[in-house]
Chain A
Amino acid sequence: DTGVSQDPRHKITKRGQNVTFRCDPISEHNRLYWYRQTLGQGPEFLTYFQNEAQLEKSRLLSDRFSAERPKGSFSTLEIQRTEQGDSAMYLCASSFSSGRYNEQFFGPGTRLTVL
């Protein structure tokens, strides 16, 4: 399978703990996006990488959130001091930049539950 993969698929944690998620994009894709999807809502953009550079962050990405893509391949999203409001599905997508439009391919998501 050469699609976008995410690990873990599910994570349950206690409030105040730190969690880290991993995303492995499609191998030739240079762009990687993180989105968050809460119950009853569509996915909302969090941040974006082109190769290893983090080029954009949304206002949703508080200072407790940090994302990296150290070698321009896989990416990690860390949430420090988790809060119950962080409970959501975290989606990763990747694309290959080509002109103005680039189709984004989504992974299955990591579902985070903060107790």
Chain B
Amino acid sequence: AQSVTQLDSQVPVFEEAPVELRCNYSSSVSVYLFWYVQYPNQGLQLLLKYLSGSTLVESINGFEAEFNKSQTSFHLRKPSVHISDTAEYFCAGLNYGGSQGNLIFGKGTKLSVKP
């Protein structure tokens, strides 16, 4: 089955600590992978994407994710989090089983940054 798995539903962390949000994808999902962030009462925003090329991709606000084909993973990391990073994070893959590439999402990880 085509799937994206986020292993942690909630991740509490203190401010300025490092964080890793884990994501694994099934081999039947395309290797176009994404991380979206959803702040309270807002829509999904694209945080970063892997399409091809360098396996390490970065966002403008300090997050990075590494595509690992052998482990079918696309974990999201940040070396030092801020209170403002508190949000829900969704990993997604582009589904080429369908005709036009709808996204397959994981269940989400709620990141809670505490002072």
Contact = CB atoms under 8 A, between A and B. Distances in A.
Given A101-B32, A108-B42, A108-B43, A42 B108 contact: yes
Contacts of B49: 103
A101 B100 contact: no
B97 to A, nearest CB: 11
Interface in B23-65: 32, 36, 41-46, 49, 51
Given A4-B43, A107-B43, A42 B100 contact: no
A25 interface: no
B18 interface: no
Contacts of A107: 43
Interface of A: 4, 31, 33, 35, 40-45, 48, 50, 55-56, 58, 91, 93, 100-109
Interface of B: 4, 6, 9, 32, 36, 41-46, 49, 51, 90, 92, 94-95, 98-108
